[in-house]
Amino acid sequence: MNSPISLLLALQDKDVKLSAIKAKLASAPLEIKSISKEIESSEKRFDEHKAEFKALEAKAANMRAERKQLEAKISKYRKQMLETKKNDDYLALNDEINRMSAMVSDMESAELQTMMDLDVGRETLEEHKAECEHDIAMLNGRIWEIKEHLARLESECEDAQEQVAEAESKLPEIFLHAYRKIRNSGKKFPIVVRNDGEKCCGCFLKVSAEVASKFSDPDQPVLCEQCGRIMYAPHSES
């Protein structure tokens, strides 16, 4: 028949495994959230590049519209020149046409540069798009892998919980109560530790002679007076 201490150690071993699985289950959604933020950042960066390109397109369209308006005025003034009979009006219209023609020339040069910038911007935008799509595909792949792993972990967690419950069912109530009390207090593993004869191997502090004398009763859990862990003498493991 197994001793209470060996049963406690078996329970602790299964409980440690269950806790590790639960920790992974808890971290998975956080990892997915972090990756989702990376996806959002990638999309945001592409949207910013796209907005810059759209702004350049709008600039080119405005420049073209302004140039065409000016060219329409030049055509109008040239028609007026043919119709006017006053020399002063003719000269004034001619000066205005010359001034606007110079403006049109400058605008055409600026428009040409903007069109060249658009060609470069269009190519750069396609590169950013391909990069964004690649990054998002990779990140979505990671999320899919995590979700697959999460499904396996959930199954493992159910099995581990059953094993813990089975191990608990084999323990005498007094030992199970002591174990659960320490476990529920938030104490980190290990909860069940050896006593080397002088000190607790959990907190490594010296144990009083009064506490050490309790090891003679195998039917009672012995608690460290310093850290509260359940202690056992080496011979009680079997």
Average the pLDDT over each of 39-48, 123-132, 173-182, 225-234 and give the range with the smallest value: 225-234
CA 70-74-80 angle, to 5 degrees, is 140
Residue 98: per-residue pLDDT: 95
Question: Is the bond preceding 190 in cis, omega lying within 30 degrees of 0?
Answer: yes
Q: Hey, what are 6's tokens?
A: 């060996």
Q: Kindly report, residue by residue over 29-66, the tens digit of the pLDDT.
A: 999 999 999 999 999 999 999 999 999 999 999 999 99
Report how far residue 175's alpha carbon sits from residue 8's, in angstroms, rounded to the nearest whole number.
8
Residue 237: per-residue pLDDT: 60
Q: Hey, what are 114's tokens?
A: 């903007």
Average pLDDT estimate for 227-237 = 84
Q: Are 189 and 207 in contact (CB under 8 A)?
A: no
Q: Which fold has domain 14-170?
A: Helix Hairpins (1.10.287)
Residue 238: per-residue pLDDT: 57
Pick the closest to residue 235 from 211, 216, 208 (CA basis).
216
Residues ≥6 apart with Cβ < 8 Å to 193 = 200, 201, 202, 224, 229, 230, 231, 232
Q: Kindly report, residue by residue over 115-155, the tens digit of the pLDDT.
A: 999 999 999 999 999 999 999 999 999 999 999 999 999 99
Residue 216: per-residue pLDDT: 87
Average pLDDT estimate for 207-223 = 90
Roughly what angle, to the nearest 10 degrees, separates helices 4-83 and 173-184? 30
Sequence ranges of the domains in the chain: 14-170, 172-233
Q: Are 231 and 207 in contact (CB under 8 A)?
A: yes
DSSP 170: T
Q: Hey, what are 179's tokens?
A: 């174990």
Residue 236: per-residue pLDDT: 63
| Order of strands, sheet of 222-223, starting from the edge strand that comes earlier in the sequence | 192-194, 230-232, 222-223
Q: Are 152 and 195 in contact (CB under 8 A)?
A: no
Rounded to two decimals, the pTM is: 0.70
